[in-house]
């Protein structure tokens, strides 16, 4: 539930329609969800040459024929977490079929990059509510608050928790590989991969163009300082994480009406991300990839949809910050021409 005093609390509560702590009586019916598409947001269909913005109704129509929803993010952009948390709660509350009185709610399976594959988040009860209890359960599933930030991700994860406390059918688990296993893949190559992940990657090789794009992005993410000899291991590690996310996503889809992946924009790309593995393993499944950006940036990218929110333009981490300005001297200049 929303908690007064937290950063982002106002926009989070407004976006999700969730009451602040103490505002809802025990057993009270859930509040209706407010619109999750912000008034300044732009939701753009990148497959449409006209790039007409979509509204909530049109997105719901697209989602009605979707098996796998891949929601990207810019990890340090708070609005992306607020929007996705609100959207997921709205999806969990809608009927699985045509809307009708008493219709069963949609079963939602959510897997997240920030949690480890195979670990599930248990539902909260009266004794495990509150921000510290939620964080503890997330940490038990592999969430590292030092890496990902807390409470930065609370607006994403807490609405899912609320939905399950309200009786909604939401599975919530991890999708990523342990960091030490990723490091082993970088060092040792394919021999460090579990056979099932290796088989997935061998069945979905990247073409030369996609591979070149991935390599370029890996170089850029290391500010051009990564030795070329290390590139194959880094490429394999990126793809291994995608394969683990695909495994978790596919397993969730087998048990639910709609499976959702929460991950960085790089993992939901159509050219070298999880969609490549999905197309090879389950070509009949309908995938919708949504990249996230900031209003004012170019409306493009290797996604089906681009969701732009207010926020800070992307900064280049490879550009050093400007040096601090020297304080003005309190003494008059000694130059004779001053």
Q: What is the CATH classification number for the domain harbouring 183? A: 3.40.50.11550
State how far the Cα of 328 lies from the Cα of 320, in Å rounded to an integer: 23
Lowest mean pLDDT among 64-68, 153-157, 218-222, 327-331: 327-331
Residue 73 within a domain: yes
pLDDT top residue among 313 and 194: 194
Residue 188 within a domain: yes
Q: What's residue 31's pLDDT? A: 35
How many domains, in total, are found in the chain? 1
Residue 274 within a domain: yes
| Average pLDDT for 187-199 | 97
Contact 257, 106 (CB under 8 A): yes
Residue 159 within a domain: yes
| Average pLDDT for 31-44 | 76
State the residue for tokens 């991300």.
Answer: 273
What domain range includes position 206?
9-23+33-94+104-309
**Based on C-alpha coordinates, what's the Rg of the chain?**
22
Residue 331 within a domain: no
3-state secondary structure of 94: coil
Which of the four pLDDT bands, split at 50, 70 and 90, describes residue 320?
A: confident
Residue 68 within a domain: yes
pLDDT top residue among 18 and 68: 68
Best-predicted range by mean pLDDT (128-132, 164-168, 238-242):
238-242
Position 51 pLDDT exceeds 70? yes
Which of the four pLDDT bands, split at 50, 70 and 90, describes residue 125?
A: low
Position 334 pLDDT exceeds 50? no
| Average pLDDT for 242-249 | 98
Residue 336 within a domain: no
Q: What's residue 202's pLDDT? A: 98
Residue 45 within a domain: yes
Contact 107, 257 (CB under 8 A): yes
């Amino acid at each position: 539930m929303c908690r007064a005093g937290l950063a982002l609390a106002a926009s989070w509560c407004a976006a999700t329609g969730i009451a602040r702590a103490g505002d809802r009586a025990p057993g009270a019916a859930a509040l209706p969800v407010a619109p999750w598409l912000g008034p300044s947001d732009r939701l753009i269909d990148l497959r449409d040459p006209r790039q007409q913005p979509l509204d909530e109704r049109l997105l719901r129509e697209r989602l009605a024929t979707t098996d796998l929803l891949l929601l990207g993010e810019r990890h340090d952009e708070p609005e992306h977490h607020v929007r996705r948390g609100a959207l997921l709660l709205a999806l969990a509350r809608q009927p699985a079929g045509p809307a009708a009185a008493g219709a069963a709610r949609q079963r939602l399976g959510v897997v997240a990059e920030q949690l480890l594959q195979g670990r599930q988040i248990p539902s909260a009860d009266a004794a495990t509510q509150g921000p510290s209890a939620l964080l503890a359960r997330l940490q038990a599933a592999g969430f590292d608050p030092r890496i990902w930030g807390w409470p930065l991700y609370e607006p994403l994860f807490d609405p899912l928790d609320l939905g399950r406390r309200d009786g909604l059918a939401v599975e919530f688990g991890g999708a990523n590989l342990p960091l030490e296993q990723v490091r082993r893949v970088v060092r040792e190559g394919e021999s460090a991969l579990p056979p099932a992940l290796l088989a997935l990657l061998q069945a979905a090789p990247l073409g030369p163009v996609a591979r070149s794009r991935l390599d370029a992005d890996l170089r850029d993410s290391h500010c051009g300082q990564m030795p070329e000899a290390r590139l194959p291991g880094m490429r394999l590690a990126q793809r291994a994480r995608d394969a683990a996310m695909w495994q978790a996503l596919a397993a969730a889809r087998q048990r639910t009406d709609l499976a959702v992946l929460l991950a960085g924009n790089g993992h939901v790309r159509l050219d070298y991300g999880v969609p490549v593995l999905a197309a090879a393993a389950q070509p009949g499944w309908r995938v919708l990839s949504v990249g996230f950006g900031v209003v004012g940036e170019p409306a493009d990218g290797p996604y089906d949809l681009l969701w732009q929110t207010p926020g800070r333009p992307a900064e280049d981490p490879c550009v050093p910050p400007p040096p601090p300005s020297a304080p003005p001297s309190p003494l008059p200049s000694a130059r004779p021409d001053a």
